[in-house]
């Protein structure tokens, strides 16, 4: 039966809705964000406004992006009296974030994200990294560990390298299932992503870096000599590479992946 009261919302699975209901955790998240009066904050998936309300206590301007149109009237009733509050009814994966950024006022992005869109959304946002100051997300703990993992760590992989190419990644704290309604099946965590102003290890060709990293981790138990075989076969025989091919991908840091990709780009130019 349809919900009679439009201001009473039943969580929808297809929109990945797990609403935060623990005020202690909400405070902890907002403290980690540290919103300032003049910040240009955009919240993705505000839901019924659990984090939104707390953000509006500190900042005067807040844009929110919500896909579930049934939640829009709830958000408007709760927050429209704040003159700087604006709801965008749309899919964050298609949203043009550059439209919200202003010179000298880069975006601070916040969201308790639906887990199924978290990785594509982070990469969509990274295409706007020049107008983003930082991002704080609630994600599955497992994804946060992968984003923040360093070489040698069992969670270190393709996501770690590609995210850390663009930003500093910090695993801030865990959030247990009982802080949400409905409770998710997994533990969540808050991650902070801060885009590098200048890339510490710029790749000559980002596509080549992506290709090398993907191939290297496609068989992570194997040595690079084996995992990278399809690529190595395209290089001139006896090429001396800048990394030890006896290593496994999980032992290689971002700097080494970039150096390898750059060397391959150079070799291909000569070919």
Number of residues that bind ligand SAH (CB under 6 A): 23
**Euclidean distance between CA atoms 81 and 128, whole angstroms:** 30
SS3 label, residue 217: helix
Contact mark string toward ligand SAH, 6..45, x via CB under 6 A:
---------xxxxxx-----------------------xx
The answer to the question of residue 75 lying near ligand SAH (CB under 6 A) is no
The answer to the question of residue 112 lying near ligand SAH (CB under 6 A) is yes
Q: 65 or 261, CB closer to ligand SAH?
A: 65
The answer to the question of residue 114 lying near ligand SAH (CB under 6 A) is yes
The answer to the question of residue 264 lying near ligand SAH (CB under 6 A) is no
Stretch of 60-68, 167-175, 184-192, 211-219 contacting ligand SAH, by CB under 6 A = 60-68
Could you tell me the smallest distance in angstroms from the CB atom of residue 31 to ligand SAH?
Answer: 15
**Euclidean distance between CA atoms 160 and 146, whole angstroms:** 6
The answer to the question of residue 186 lying near ligand SAH (CB under 6 A) is no
Stretch of 87-95, 99-107, 144-152, 188-196 contacting ligand SAH, by CB under 6 A = 87-95
The closest alpha carbon to 161, from 259, 266, 252, 225, belongs to: 252
Q: Give the residue nearest to ligand SAH (CB).
A: 45
**Euclidean distance between CA atoms 43 and 138, whole angstroms:** 12
Applying the rule CB under 6 A, the residues between 195 and 224 that interact with ligand SAH are none
Sign of CA dihedral 230, 231, 232, 237: positive
Q: What phi and psi, each to the nearest 5 degrees, are found at residue 216? A: -60, -40
The answer to the question of residue 68 lying near ligand SAH (CB under 6 A) is yes
The answer to the question of residue 117 lying near ligand SAH (CB under 6 A) is yes
What one-character DSSP code corresponds to residue 240? P
**Euclidean distance between CA atoms 69 and 50, whole angstroms:** 17
Where does this chain bind ligand SAH (CB under 6 A)? 15-20, 44-47, 50-51, 65-68, 71, 91-93, 112, 114, 117
């Amino acid at each position: 039966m349809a919900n009679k009261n439009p201001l009473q919302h039943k969580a929808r699975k297809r929109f990945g809705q797990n609403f935060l209901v623990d005020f202690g955790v909400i405070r902890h998240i907002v403290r980690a964000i540290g919103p300032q009066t003049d910040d240009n904050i955009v919240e993705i998936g505000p839901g019924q406004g659990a984090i939104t309300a707390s953000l509006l206590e500190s900042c005067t301007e807040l844009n929110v992006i919500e896909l579930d149109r049934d939640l829009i009237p709830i958000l408007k009733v709760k927050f429209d009296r704040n003159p700087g509050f604006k709801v965008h009814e749309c899919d964050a994966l298609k949203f043009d974030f550059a439209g919200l950024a202003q010179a000298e006022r880069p975006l601070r992005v916040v969201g308790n994200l639906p887990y199924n869109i978290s990785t594509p959304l982070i990469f969509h946002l990274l295409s706007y990294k020049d107008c983003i100051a930082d991002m704080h997300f609630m994600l599955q703990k497992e994804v946060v560990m992968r984003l923040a993992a360093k070489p040698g760590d069992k969670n270190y992989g393709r996501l770690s390298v590609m995210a850390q190419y663009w930003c500093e990644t910090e695993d801030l704290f865990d959030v247990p299932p009982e802080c949400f309604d409905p409770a998710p099946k997994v533990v969540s965590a808050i991650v902070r992503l801060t885009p590098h102003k200048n890339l510490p290890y710029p790749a000559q060709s980002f596509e080549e870096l992506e290709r090398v990293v993907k191939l290297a981790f496609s068989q992570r138990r194997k040595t690079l000599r084996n995992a990278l075989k399809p690529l190595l076969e395209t290089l001139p025989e006896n090429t001396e590479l800048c990394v030890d091919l006896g290593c496994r991908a999980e032992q290689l840091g971002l700097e080494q992946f970039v150096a390898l990709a750059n060397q391959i780009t150079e070799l291909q130019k000569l070919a």
